[in-house]
Amino acid sequence: MARHFDRIDDCLDDLIARVGPVITLGIPLGIGKPNPWVNALYNRVKATPFLKLRIFTALSLEKPKAHSDMEARFLGPFVERVFGNYPDLAYVTDRHSGMMPKNIDVTEFFYKSGEYLHNDYAQQHYLSSNYTHVARDMLVQGINVVAQAVAVRERGGRTEYSLSSNPDVTLDIVRLMRSSGRSVYRVLVVNREMPFMENDALIDESEVDAIVTEPSCTHTVFSAPNMKVDLTDYAIGLYVSSLVKDGGTLQIGIGSLGDAISHALIVRDRHNAEYRNTLTAMGAPLADSGRFAQGLYGCSEMFVNGFMALIDAGILRREVFPHAGLQRLLNAGKLSVTVDAETLPALREAGVVESPLSMRDVAFLQEFGILREDVTVRAGQLCAGDERIPLDIDTPATLAALNRHCLGHRLQKGIYMHGGFFLGPRDFYEKLRTMPPAKLGGINMTAISFINQLYGQEDLAAAQRRDASFVNTCMMMTLLGAAVSDGLDSGRLVSGVGGQYNFVAQAHALHDARSIMMLRATRRSKGELMSNIVWNYGHTTIPRHLRDIVVTEYGIADLRGQPDHEVVKRLLAITDSRFQAELLAQAKAAGKVENDYEIPVPLQNNLPETVAARLQDLRGQKLLPDFPFGNDFTDEELAIIKVLQRMQAMADSPVQMVKSLIASLREDKEIPTALLERLHLDHPESWRQKLLRQLFIGNV
């Protein structure tokens, strides 16, 4: 039974006494970290040389930091409003400053994109691992402590705990511990701000060693504010949305591209005529572009705000059930979620239940709500009130009596969203906290081994994940179909593999699934425009033999089953036209495409203005807003962000900066006083402040 501590220090005393001076700690990725508890442990070890601490985790989040006085003036009120009393992790601060103690190591398997690209310590301590292997790899590293922030509630006179945002790796660690007989000190740290999740996220205190309830452990949950969705994002999102099948399965990620897909699916459902007209203008397929009569099922390692928007829109609603036979009947339309006179005959015909019904059959039927809970079995008969009904359901009279007196109303245990962890903006968490119980019960936060792979559950997964669209983002794509998503050819790590490979592998293992890789066709680096579709690259995340569907803002390239010369042609068709000729020449030089091949003329107009023209109708009807799901910025902050982004873009172009300064001196612009006051530029004193003021005015 767990020991309860109302002080972190008392828990740490107990931990060290039971584990010893060498502590190897596993903590969840993202918001499931118990930051105050971790900081207390970190600081104690830091101050005690004979102790040694190793931490294994991923995605260690920190509040936005300003890099200049002007940024600080802008960010200060925003950070205070949005992040509240969220405590940054002490090891993150020390890692950034290069001040990691000698008796502490921190290893992560996934970083915030680009955050540690130039941090040697972080690069050296990166663990390259598929998400599904993280629990195993933590045990390989010898973890002897696991700690997690949990939600709590009082119900029926009992205190209940939930793993909330992060059952992902924790459930797998518990399973591996049991099978290996390993002893690990398990800590639950209560944060009363965490949303309480049901189903697999529930954890009994008998399964842990310590529960910490110190009030300081309750703090604001880290939020990821919605990002602006631009036309490039929307073009990609619209193309992807045209590939999602009604009644199918969806996996997406966080950020503007994920939001673009979710919003495009909502436009498809609510404004279908306008949606289809735009798809026609874009040259996108129309086969799967109708409204959602059946709805979608979400199965994604990350439960993000885009999924919440689809729940709110009534699109994410297709329920799946944890029984392969039952699920196959639902898929075939031989059953519905409503229990009726056809339910038992369909189950009997498919061999899911026998006749006469066994005790196991009765338990199954009650588990899924097909038989009422108050129905019992006595002396070989079903008992419902005063009724006594034989178990032989092949007899018409018996079946009729059973249907009349024993049936439930609706299938139970249905799930429309499986997720491993969640992260989102403030209103995302608030919706989870206030969601009606029946609706919240349809969301199952569970083990990453269930979501990200098929092994050990092949029949069930194939039945549940029908017509799956597994959608991921990459940084670059080679012209032969290899994806670069996590690192550079220098060996430097940008983010991590995470679950990307897992979902690509699933897409090739499931007969009706597709892997969809998204990327923006171009990027700017140090002021230079570069193509994200390249001939070759010295690092790949997804090898070319797993190529499938690739989407840019210029179209869809279906690469499955295609020979190399056709792959080259299809990827060139969605490449920015400013780079097509050079890439084609490289392909010809390598002998991968015919020497006389030329890119068709209609495909030589892949330019930003083409994208804008294709989307002008939806844009004009205000169906493509900058922030489709709201944002945490005030109007004043949005105005400042636009100016600061223009100023940042000029940092690599001194000539443009000078032109902007000159223009600001010549023009007599009306600048809202509030903008200058927010940045303390309303009354500049130093020459630097005066320069910044003029640059700001020049970019308004």
Identify the band that residue 67 occupies on the pLDDT scale cut at 50, 70 and 90: confident
Q: What is the pLDDT of residue 25?
A: 98
Rounded distance between C-alpha atoms, residue 271 and residue 278, angstroms: 11
CATH 3.40.1080.10 assigned to 3-217:
yes
Whether residue 167 contacts residue 125, with contact meaning beta carbons closer than 8 Å, is answered with no
Question: Residue 338 has what DSSP assignment?
Answer: B
Q: By mean pLDDT, which of 170-179, 386-395, 474-483, 691-700 is the weakest?
A: 691-700
The first and second tokens of residue 553, run together, are: 């803002």
Q: What is the pLDDT of residue 154?
A: 94
Residue ranges per structural domain of the chain: 3-217, 231-319+416-609, 324-405, 635-698
Percent residues over pLDDT 90 in the chain = 85
Identify the band that residue 404 occupies on the pLDDT scale cut at 50, 70 and 90: very high
Count of C-beta atoms within a 10 Å radius of residue 637: 18
Structure confidence by residue, pLDDT tens digits, 359-401: 999 999 999 999 999 999 998 899 999 899 999 999 999 999 9
Whether residue 26 contacts residue 140, with contact meaning beta carbons closer than 8 Å, is answered with no
Q: What is the pLDDT of residue 645?
A: 74
Q: What is the pLDDT of residue 673?
A: 76
Average pLDDT of span 55-72: 89
Domains 3-217 and 231-319+416-609 share a fold: yes
Structure confidence by residue, pLDDT tens digits, 170-223: 999 989 988 888 889 999 999 999 999 999 999 999 999 999 999 999 999 999
pTM (2 d.p.): 0.93
Q: What is the pLDDT of residue 664?
A: 53
Q: Is the pLDDT of residue 527 over 90?
A: no
Q: Which residues contact 160 (CB under 8 A, 6 or more apart)?
A: 152, 153, 154, 196, 202
Percent residues over pLDDT 70 in the chain = 96
Structure confidence by residue, pLDDT tens digits, 337-359: 999 999 999 999 999 999 999 99
Rounded distance between C-alpha atoms, residue 429 and residue 443, angstroms: 13
Q: What is the pLDDT of residue 666?
A: 54
Report the 3 state secondary structure along 148-188.
Answer: EEEEEEEECCEEEEECCCCCCCHHHHHHHHHHHCCCCEEEE
Rounded distance between C-alpha atoms, residue 289 and residue 241, angstroms: 8
CATH 3.40.1080.20 assigned to 231-319+416-609:
yes
What is the helix (H) or strand (E) element at residue 136, kind and residue range? Answer: helix 134-140
Average pLDDT over the chain reads 93
Q: Is the pLDDT of residue 461 over 70?
A: yes
Average pLDDT of span 529-544: 97
Structure confidence by residue, pLDDT tens digits, 88-133: 999 999 999 999 999 999 999 999 999 999 999 999 999 999 999 9
**In one letter, which amino acid is 10?**
D
Rounded distance between C-alpha atoms, residue 357 and residue 362, angstroms: 7
